[in-house]
Structure 1
Amino acid sequence: MITIILSLALTITACRGKVENTEEVKTGDTHTQGETSKYGGIYESYIGSDFNTLDPAFATAALDGEIVSLLYDALVRFDIDGKIVPGLAKSWELPDDKTLVFDLVDNAKFHNGNKVTAHDIKYSFERVLDPDVASPRTWVFDKIMGAKDFMEGTAEEVTGIEVIDDYKIKITLEEPFAPFLSMMGMPAAHIVDKNEIEKYSDQNDYALKPVGTGPYAFVEFKPGDRFVVKANEEYFAGRPFLDGINYRVIKDNSTAIAEFEAGNLDALSIPSVEIDRFANNSEYKPYIINNNTFWNYYIGTMNDKAPFDNKNLRQAVHYAINREAILNAVIPNTSVASHGPIPPGLDGYRSDITSYSYNPEKAKEILLEEGYSKENPLKVKFYHAESASNVALLEPVQAMLNEVGFKVELVSMEWNAYRAAVRQGEPDLFYLSWGADYPDAENYLYPLFHSTMTNGGGNETRYSNPEVDALLELSHKTQDYKERIKLYQQIEDIVIEDSPRIWMYLSRNWTVYKPKVQGVQIYRIFNADKKLDIWLDK
Structure 2
Amino acid sequence: MFKKGKKLQIILILSLVLTLVFSGCGKPAEPADQPEETPEKTNEEAAKDNESNGEPKYGGIFHSYLDSNFNTLDPAFATADRDGRMVALLYDSLIRYDTEGKIIPSLAKSWETPDDTTLIFHLVENAKFHNGNPFTAKDVKYSFERVLDPDVASPRTWVFEKVKGAKDFMEGKADIVEGIEVVDDYTVKITLEQPFAPFLSMLGMPAAHIVDKNEIEKYDNQKDYALNPVGTGPFKFVEFVADSKFDLEVNEDYFAGRPYMDGINYRIIKDASTSVAEFEAGNLDELEIPPADIDRFQNNADYAPYIVKKSTLWNYYIGLTSNKKPFDDIKVRKAFCHAIDREAILNTVLRNKSVLSNGPIPPGLDGYRDDLNPYPYDPEKAKELLAEAGYSKDNPCSFEFLYADSKSNVALIEPIQAMLNQVGFDVKLGSMEWNAYKAEVRAGKAQAFYLSWGADYPDAENYLYPLFHSSMSGGGGNETRYNNPEFDKTIEQAQATSDYDERIKLYQKAEDIVLADAPRLWVYLGINWTAYRPEVKDVKVYRIFNADKKLDMWLDR
TM-score, normalised relative to structure 2: 0.91
Q: Which residue of 2 aligns with 1:486?
A: 505
Q: Which residue of 2 aligns with 1:351?
A: 370
Segment drifting more, 201-210 vs 473-482: 201-210
Alignment partner of 2:328 out of 295, 309, 319: 309
Decide whether the 8 Å contact of 2:482 with 2:519 is kept in 1.
yes
Decide whether the 8 Å contact of 2:34 with 2:354 is kept in 1.
no
Q: Which residue of 2 aligns with 1:190?
A: 209
Aligned: 1:210 with 2:215: no
3-state DSSP of counterpart to 2:10: helix
Aligned: 1:287 with 2:306: yes
Q: Which residue of 2 aligns with 1:251?
A: 270
Alpha-carbon deviations, 1:487-520, whole Å to 9, x = none?
0110000001111211001112211111111110
Q: Distance in 2 between matches of 1:476 and 1:271?
A: 38
Q: Distance in 1 between matches of 2:199 and 2:444?
A: 29
Decide whether the 8 Å contact of 2:59 with 2:260 is kept in 1.
yes
Cα RMSD (Å): 2.3
Q: Which residue of 2 aligns with 1:12?
A: 17
Q: Distance in 2 between matches of 1:355 and 1:301?
A: 16
Change (3 A) 1:419 1:208: farther
Decide whether the 8 Å contact of 2:35 with 2:355 is kept in 1.
no
Q: Distance in 2 between matches of 1:200 and 1:383?
A: 41
3-state DSSP of counterpart to 2:275: helix
Decide whether the 8 Å contact of 2:197 with 2:496 is kept in 1.
yes
Q: CA deviation at 1:161?
A: 0.5
Q: Distance in 2 between matches of 1:514 and 1:43?
A: 10
Q: Which residue of 2 aligns with 1:529?
A: 548
3-state DSSP of counterpart to 1:365: helix
Decide whether the 8 Å contact of 2:73 with 2:83 is kept in 1.
yes
Q: After TM superposition, what 4+ stretches of structure 1 lie above 6 angstroms from structure 2?
A: 15-21
Q: Distance in 1 between matches of 2:544 and 2:117?
A: 26
The AA in structure 1 aligned to 2:90 is L
Q: Distance in 1 between matches of 2:286 and 2:166?
A: 43
Q: Distance in 2 between matches of 1:443 and 1:166?
A: 32
Change (3 A) 1:464 1:322: same
Please give the residue correspondences for 1:371-410 in structure 2 after superposition, counting only pairs within 5 Å.
Answer: 371-410=390-429
Structure 2 residue ranges without an equivalent (≥5): 1-5, 23-32
Alignment partner of 2:473 out of 419, 435, 454: 454
Aligned: 1:3 with 2:5: no
Q: Which residue of 1 aligns with 2:30?
A: none
The AA in structure 2 aligned to 1:210 is P
The AA in structure 2 aligned to 1:428 is Q
Q: Distance in 1 between matches of 2:40 and 2:458?
A: 27
Q: CA deviation at 1:29?
A: 5.1
Q: Which residue of 2 aligns with 1:134?
A: 153
Decide whether the 8 Å contact of 2:259 with 2:550 is kept in 1.
yes
Segment drifting more, 158-167 vs 449-458: 449-458
Q: Percent identity?
A: 65
Q: CA deviation at 1:128?
A: 1.6
Structure 1 residue ranges without an equivalent (≥5): none
Decide whether the 8 Å contact of 1:367 with 1:373 is kept in 2.
yes
Segment drifting more, 511-520 vs 382-391: 382-391
Decide whether the 8 Å contact of 2:367 with 2:460 is kept in 1.
yes
Decide whether the 8 Å contact of 2:36 with 2:352 is kept in 1.
no
Decide whether the 8 Å contact of 2:329 with 2:389 is kept in 1.
no
3-state DSSP of counterpart to 2:252: coil
Q: Which residue of 1 aligns with 2:62?
A: 43
Please give the residue correspondences for 1:411-430 in structure 2 after superposition, counting only pairs within 5 Å.
Answer: 411-430=430-449
Alignment partner of 1:171 out of 174, 184, 190: 190
Change (3 A) 1:134 1:307: farther
Q: Which residue of 1 aligns with 2:170?
A: 151
Change (3 A) 1:293 1:18: closer
The AA in structure 2 aligned to 1:56 is P
Change (3 A) 1:28 1:366: closer
Alignment partner of 1:84 out of 83, 95, 103: 103
Segment drifting more, 218-227 vs 119-128: 218-227
Change (3 A) 1:229 1:158: same
Decide whether the 8 Å contact of 1:373 with 1:404 is kept in 2.
no
Segment drifting more, 360-369 vs 178-187: 360-369
